Structure 1
Amino acid sequence: MTKWFTNKFSWLGLLIASFISLSFLFCALPAFKQMPTNAKNLPVVIVNQDNQQISNKVTTGLKDNLPFKHVTTSTDLAGTKQRIKDRKASLAVVIPAGFNKDVRAGKQPTLNFVVNNANSMLQTNVNQSLISRVQSTVNAQLTHQSLVGMYAKQLAPKMMKTAMQAGMKTAMQKAMAASKGQAVNQKQIQRQVQAQVQPKVQKQIMAQATKMAAPFNLTAKSTTNMMGTKQPNMQHQMAPMFTSMGQYLGLMIASIIMTMTFMSVRFIAGKWRTFAGLQITGLITTFVVALITVGALRSLVSFDGSIFNGLLWHSYLYDFAVFEFTSGLALLCGGLPSFLLQLPLFVLQILGGGGTLPRDAMSGVYKFISQTTPMYQNIYSDFNIMAGLGNTGAFEQTLWWIILGGLVLGGLAVWIGYRSKERRGLAAVIPAVF
C-alpha cells in the first residue's frame, strides 16, 4: 500500500478536483451577485398607436407603475420591433389604434406584446412576469374607466337638463329685458346656452362619476409567507448548482486518473491492497475538496457557523458519493474509456439536478436521473441548509445508497477483472513508481 501512497499520480486527482471546483465557484457565482436587482435594468417600450384619451392614460399609468428603470414610450412599432431584435429593448407593450374607441363602445380592447424568444431563461421568465403585471394594471385601469363611463351616462341626462333649465331661465330673463317687449329668438338662445353650459356640466358629470366609481376601485392586499432565510441576491440560489457541478466534474476526472493509477500500481502492490489505497485516497480527497469548496463559498456568500458545518458535512458526503459512483464506473470500464459514459451522465445530472428545473417539471428520464444520482441530492440539501430549513434526511439516505452501490460495483469489477500479469495498454500509461 505504501507504493500507492508514494506515487504522485495518486494525489494528482485531489489537485485537479480542487482546481475545477474552485473554477466553477469563482468564475460563475459572482455573475449572480446583482440579481434579481439588475433585472430592473431591462429596457421596456410602450408603443401607443392609438394616442387618444384613454390610451394615453393607460400609457401614463404603465410608465408610472412598472418596476423598471428604463420605460420609454413610442408610436413607431416597426422601429420598436427592430430595437427588440437588436436587443436594445427587452419587451414592447403595444396599444393598437382603436383601443380608446373599443373601451368607450364597451367592447373588449386588445393589448399586444412583442418579445424576443431567443433569450435566456431568466429574461424569458421576467418577460412573462411583466406581461402578467401589465395585463393586471391595464385591467384595473379599464375597470375603473368603464365604471366612470357607466355612471357618467346615468348622470348626464339629469344634470344636463337641470343645468339647461337654470341657464335658459337666466338667459331668457336677460333677453326679454334687452328686447324691451319685442319677440326673442328662443332657439338661438337655447343653442347659445347649450354651448356655454355643456363644457361646465361635462366636467361636473365626470367629477361626480369618478367620485361614485371610487369605492369600487379596490385592489386586494397580499402577504407572502417566506419559508427560510431571505437572501439579498441570487448567489444563494445559484451556489448549490455551481458547487455541485464543479465538485462532480473535478472528482469524476480525479477518479479516472486514480483508477488508471490503480491499474498500473496493482502490478507491484497487489490489486486488493491497491484498491484499499484507492478508497483511502478517495476519503482524504473528498474531504479536502469539500473543505476547500465550502471555505471558498464562505468568502462569496454570507452564512453563519452552523450553516458552514452543515454544508461541510453534506458536501463531504456528496463528494464521497460522487467518488464512489464515478470510480466504480471507471473500474468497471477500465479507466479512461469510462469517460464516454461518465460525461453524458454528468450532463444529464446538470439538467436532472434540479438547479434549473424542479423534479415535477422533468420528463421521465431526467426524473429517474434525479432520483438515482448524486447531484440532485446535494443541490436540494444545500438549498435547505442555506435557507435554514434542514430536512436533508431523505437526500442523505440516497447518497449513502449511492456510496454503497459504487463501492460494491468497484469491488466486483476488481474481483472479476484486473487479472492480467503483464502491464500493457492503458495500464502502462501511468508509471507504477513516480
Structure 2
Amino acid sequence: MKLKKYFTSRGPIIGTLLAIIFGILVFLIYFEGYSGMPTKIDRLPVTIVNEDKQAKSLNKQLKTALKKEFKHVKTTTNLASAKSELNGRQTYLIIDIPKNFTKKVSQNKSTELNFYINNSNQSSVVSGMKQVALTIGNSVSQKIIIKKGQAILATSASQKLKKQLASAKAKLAKEVATLAQTSPTAAKAAKESGSKKIAAAKQSGEKQIKQQVAKAYQNMDESVKVKIHNVNHVHQGINYAMAPFFANLALYLGTVLGAMVMYGTFAKFAKEDGRMMAFGSMQLVFVCVSIIASLIDAWAVKALVGVDLNFSKLWLNFAMVLFSGYELNSLVMYLIGQIGTSLNIFLTMVQVVSGAGMLPVITMNSFFQTIHYISPLYYATQINFNLMYGGSGTNALFLQYAGLILALIVINSLIVSLQKHQRLLDLSKLS
C-alpha cells in the first residue's frame, strides 16, 4: 500500500517522537518551574521598620505574625536603608511603624500602618505582596492593637475597682467588729447586707468598665488604617507587568532560528577560509546584526510601552540579548550541528522560567536557581525591569551579563578549534 511509506518514513516517526518528547518535557518545565507561587512566597524576605521607640511590643507582635508567613523577617529603624533594599530587590515588602504611632493610638487619633511594595517586580510578587499587606495590616494594626489598648484600659479600671472594693470590705469588717461587741445578731445582719452591696458594686463596676472600654474604642477601626505605598510606577495591565520579560523573549526566540541559519554560513566558509577565520568573522557578523536589529527593536518597544527610560541602555541591553542568544544557540550547533536547534528550543523553554520574568529566583527550585546564573534572559530581564520601571544595581547586572557573554565566546572558540567537521542538517535524509 502506497500510504504505508508515508507513515513509516523517518519524517513522521521523528515528528511523532518530537511531539511526545516536547509535550512532556516542556509541560514538566513549566509545571515544576511555576510551582513556587504562591506556595514558596514565604521565601521572599520582608522588613519591619520601627520608627516609634514606644512601639517595641507592636514590633515584636508584627515579627511574630510575619514569622508565621515568611522565613526571612528583618527588623530595623532606618526606613531609608529599607527602601534602598526594596529598590534593589533585597527585600520585597516593608512594614513601617511611623513615629508617634503608639501615642496616636492611645489618644484614639487617626494614624497609619505603612506598607511599601516595589511594583518593578514580577506581577505574581506584586499581587502577592499586596494581598499580604492587606491581610497582615488589617489583622495586626486593627485587631492586635485594639485588643492591646482595650486590655490596658480594662486593667487600669479593674485595679481602681479592686481598690474601691477592698476599701469597702475593710470598712465593713470594721463596722461588723464594732457591732459584734454589743449585738452579734446585728453584726451578722450587717455583714450579710454589706457583702451583698459589695458584690453588687463589683458587678456594676465590671459592667461599667466594659462599657467604658467599648465606648473608648468604638471608633478605633477607623483610627488605624493600612496605607500601601507603591514604589516605582507601573501602568495597570498584565501587558505592562510582563513587558520587561516579553521584550527579551521575543528577541531571544529570533536568535534560535537566526543561529541555525548563520551556522550554515559558518560551515560554508569554514571550508574555504578555515574554522577560526570563519568563527572570528561570524563574531563580527553577530555584533553588527545585534547592533542594527536591537536599535529598531528598542525604538519599537519604547514607543509601545510608553515609559521614560534611558534609550541607550535599553539599546545596549537588547544588543546583548541578541549577541548572547547567538552565542549560546551556536554553542549547541558547534557541538552537534543544526539538529541542535531542537535542543535550543528546549533550552529556551528552560530560560522562560529561569529568566525570572514571572517568578523571582528565590522561589524557584534548585535546578532553576542554578540555571539562572548562565541564563542570558535572567540578566536581560532584570535590567529591563530597572530601565522600564525602576530599580538599582543595573551596572552590576551589565557587568555580570558581559562576563557571561565573554565566557560563551571563549567556550565557542575552544569547541570550534577542536571540532574539525561541521555538521549540516540535510532535510532530504529525513524522508
So what's the TM-score if we normalise by structure 1? 0.48
With a CA cutoff of 8 Å and minimum separation of 6, indicate the structure with the bigger relative contact order.
1
